[in-house]
A and B are shown apart, each in its own frame.
Chain A
């Protein structure tokens, strides 16, 4: 299957600071990338969908000014959690959908575990 990397894999930061998470599709071009959040023992929650070169579409209840998404190229999307607070501590996972022949499968990055103290 296709490979998606995510960096960092885990991060601990102080309340009020910003954290940037990178998501890269390594062996395919991703026209669409997704950002999810998952709390312990809960299901994936879609935060936003981004298409290369355009603004992200945020799900209801997700603050776009707090979770900044940039999808600058077909292989890179970033999520910046601004002014992080302890309630933002979660498992953030990106996924990418390939353009063209791979169909509509989504491939996930390994996730970033964010802890805000």
Chain B
């Protein structure tokens, strides 16, 4: 089992749609969680950290479920500019290792 698993997609959605991504992690001792986005041929950029209480940033909402060991990202009112690969990231702590999921590709179409 991979340490961090994501549905690779691609997700093809129309503008204005709501789309949700899930990510599962295997190590119950994981400490911190993040969502990054990566545009084609660019570096990953931090989208948001994920807190136990859930957090929202504009159209983006992240949730963490420690009991089930999954993280979710919800994008409302999708824009064309949201098209990217979304990476689920888990920090294990201890030896400073951060695990990146393989990413979920999103295409938002007009």
A binding-site residues for B, Cβ under 8 Å:
1, 32, 34, 43-44, 46, 49, 51, 57, 91, 93, 95, 97, 103-111
- Other A-B contacts than A46-B98, A103-B32, 6 sampled, CB-CB below 8 A, are A34-B98, A44-B44, A91-B41, A104-B32, A108-B43, A110-B42
Task: Mark out the residues of chain B between 33 and 59 whose CB falls within 8 Å of any chain A CB in the assembled complex.
Answer: 34, 41-46, 49
Q: How many A-B residue pairs have CB under 8 A?
A: 45
Chain A contact surface mostly: strand
Can you list 22 contacts pairing A with B, beta carbon distance less than 8 Å? Answer: A32-B96, A34-B98, A43-B101, A43-B102, A44-B44, A44-B87, A46-B98, A49-B96, A95-B44, A103-B32, A103-B49, A104-B32, A104-B91, A104-B98, A105-B34, A106-B98, A108-B45, A109-B43, A110-B42, A110-B43, A111-B42, A111-B43
Are A108 and B44 in contact, CB atoms less than 8 angstroms apart? Answer: yes
Taken together as a complex, chains A and B put the C-alpha atoms of A103 and B32 apart, in Å, by 9
Are B100 and A43 in contact, CB atoms less than 8 angstroms apart? Answer: yes
Chain B contact surface mostly: strand
Counting chain B CB atoms within 10 Å of each CB, which of A32, A43, A95 scores highest? A43
